[in-house]
Chains A and B, each alone.
Chain A
Amino acid sequence: MILMVILLTAIITAAGILEIPGMVKKGQTKEIIVFVVIALLAFAMGLYYILTPHEKSLIYYTFKLFGLDI
């Protein structure tokens, strides 16, 4: 599990290392902010996926939210 978290962190960091320097060079501040927000969301979802492997799905919660039977 810890290895998976390290792998997730490494993949997201690698994407950042590949893309962010180009955006910094072009002065694309807004693009960097959007990139970081998506990266944080991806990291949060990745943690949820790795740490709670037998948890209920998003579809289950969506149906509960709308009061529908699954």
Chain B
Amino acid sequence: MLSDNKKISIRQAIFILLTLNYTPTIRLIPSYAAQRAKQASWLSPIVTFILLVMLVQVWQAIYRKYRNDTLMEIFRDIAGPVAGTVILVVYLVWMVVLSALYVRYFAMRLVGAIYPNAEISIFIISMLAVIIYTLNFGLPTLARFNEVVFPFLVFVFFLLFLMMIPNFRTDFLTPVTARSIWPIIEASVASTGIVAYFSFIFIFGDRINNKESIGKVGFRMAVFLAVMQIIVIVSILCTFSHRIAQRTQLPYLTAVKQINVFNIFEKVESIVVSIWVLSDFMIICFFIMCILSMLKSFFRLSDTRPLTSIYVIFLYLLSMIMANNVFEMERLSEKIALPANILLGFVIPAAMFVIGKIRKKV
């Protein structure tokens, strides 16, 4: 039971995380993993699962002490005000970059997948207008909206998987030998970089209730994400083999285009695009909320709602000057975004936990 109507439960926060993981998972993981671990890439989410369970335990331990604090307050307390603020400025800059990146990805994907030659500004402006309107209602409304979206997303995802099964060739998943271990670990960078967003939900940790269940809910989340990531990779590998998967720009969409059940269900890729849009909506809202929460913490603001519209205008312009084409964005995702996510989502929280233990703060 929620004690405050401005707060959300840890379950709702995890649901938001699961929804926003959907888009980057199907865009980035299959081709990245296939390039590195070939036919064994479907095992890479297992490495991520182990790391994520450890991260969940780290946050559970941190929140035993800091019951109603945000990530910013926790880091400042553990690392000291100066070091903590420097780290948080890095987080803020990275959130701004990620939010602009996802705005641009959203539009580029729509243009690349179903609206070739359309002007990307049309999609970006439409999406951002809806986002400004939604964010005025606050986090609880977004969380409740997500509780409607998430089951639909999961249902469609598993339905598509079932419809893809007739095209599967399971021999594309083998051979897997001891020599595959290091490539699997390398391939897991993509899935680990994406699930690292788990740490970012604690940027609004003061607005999340029942954090004593982080361990239990977090473990279920880790299992769900591992299953989802394995299914995505398996669907693509079994449909095309790793040779084609690693060279295709949107392999999941291409795999869905192959679906044809008894000549009745076909051309179902529009469903994928619709859930992409929902997931993109959640991910952009999430990062804008994170940025506004960080600004609130930095400058001790009483209210960030009036800043939403101007930040969204800033975000539009940043996303427009960010990249000239999709290849630049993919290079940014692979070379910089994934390591940065792992650093900020896994390494720094783990380091804070260790420092907190040494300084007897955790």
Contacts and interface: CB of A to CB of B under 8 A. Distances in A.
A22 B302 CA distance: 13
B295 interface: yes
Interface in A11-57: 11-12, 15-16, 18-20, 22-23, 26, 28, 30-31, 33-35, 38-39, 41-42, 45-46, 48-49, 56-57
Contacts of B300: 30
Contacts of B303: 26, 28, 31
A58 B318 CA distance: 9
Contact of A18 (B309, B323, B335): B309
A49 B320 contact: yes
Contacts of B323: 57-59
Give the bracket for the number of chain B residues in contact with chain A: 20 to 34
B307 interface: yes
Interface of A: 11-12, 15-16, 18-20, 22-23, 26, 28, 30-31, 33-35, 38-39, 41-42, 45-46, 48-49, 56-60, 62-63, 66, 68, 70
Interface stretch (B43-51, B199-207, B227-235, B324-332): B324-332
B299 A15 contact: no
Contacts of A33: 299
8 contacts: A12-B310, A34-B307, A35-B306, A39-B313, A45-B314, A57-B328, A58-B322, A62-B336
B318 A38 contact: no
Contact of A11 (B313, B318, B320, B328): B313
A64 to B, nearest CB: 12
Contacts of B299: 30, 33-34
B114 interface: no
Nearest to A12: B313
A26 to B, nearest CB: 8
A39 B313 CA distance: 8
A31 B307 contact: yes
A23 B310 contact: no
A15 B313 contact: yes
A57 B322 contact: yes
Main secondary structure of the interface of A (DSSP, over half): helix
Nearest to B317: A45
B324 A60 contact: yes
A10 B345 CA distance: 39
B331 A70 contact: yes
A20 B310 CA distance: 11
B324 A48 contact: no
Contacts of A48: 321
Contacts of A30: 299-301
Interface in B174-218: none
Nearest first, the 4 A-B pairs at minimum CB distance are A42-B314, A19-B306, A45-B317, A59-B328
B310 A35 contact: yes
Contacts of A26: 302-303
Contacts of B311: 38
Contacts of A62: 332, 336
Given A31-B306, A38-B307, A63 B313 contact: no
Given A19-B306, A30-B300, A56 B317 contact: no
Contact of A57 (B310, B317, B324): B324
A31 to B, nearest CB: 5
A48 B307 CA distance: 22
Contacts of B336: 62, 66, 68
Interface in B285-309: 295, 299-304, 306-307, 309
